[in-house]
Amino acid sequence: MRATERNRRLAMAAVAVLAMFHAPTGAAEGELDKVREMLRIDTARALAAERARQAPVARPAPAQARRGDQVVLTSLYGLKGALNAIVQVNGEPRLYRQGDELPRGATDAAGEYRLQRIDDGCVYLRKGASVRSACILPSAPGAMAAAGPPSVAPMPAMPPMFVPPLGGRP
């Protein structure tokens, strides 16, 4: 009697374990249908967004530079090939990075100056057919007085910083 009871308990445990791994097919099919429908909707939205992104858009004519635009280079920093320039256009700062045409965070690409190059302390910008340049002001003590006061005060230059070599100890 004892062996029969033990076998019966063992059989019940085996059935319970098998029941845990066997999901009811009706519930699984319903869930699979929901997942398939959500994937179909997500795919349709992604395709529509990609088609809208690739569709040719009528672009407005590029804005021409106004003669009164005031372009002042206030800061130039970085390493050769990865220079950054802060340029004030009509008093508003713009951050240009070498290799990128538009300033960082530009929202109106048609109304912005495009970076052509950064060369020898000067930044060359283009807006429409107009090309403008701005250079770092000399820092000699009498140079600022001789040049006259600029209408937009340049930002102070950053002092040089010591950068320890990689893996070395300070």
Counting every residue written for the chain, the total comes to: 170
Give pLDDT, residue 146. Answer: 42
The reported pTM is 0.44
Residue-wise pLDDT tens for the chain (170 aa)?
Answer: 577 777 788 787 777 776 767 655 665 777 888 888 888 888 888 888 888 877 665 555 555 555 678 888 988 888 877 889 999 988 889 999 988 888 988 877 778 899 999 888 889 999 888 888 888 866 645 444 444 444 555 555 556 556 566 665 55
Give pLDDT, residue 145. Answer: 43
Give pLDDT, residue 144. Answer: 42
Give pLDDT, residue 124. Answer: 92
**Encoding tokens for residue 76?**
């130039």
**Encoding tokens for residue 128?**
């429409």
> Rounded to an integer, what distance in angstroms lies between the CA atom of residue 136 and that of residue 98?
16
- The β-bridge relationship of strands 130-135 and 122-127 is antiparallel
The three-point CA angle 19-21-25 to 5° equals 80
Give pLDDT, residue 143. Answer: 43
* 95 touches 106 (CB < 8 A): no
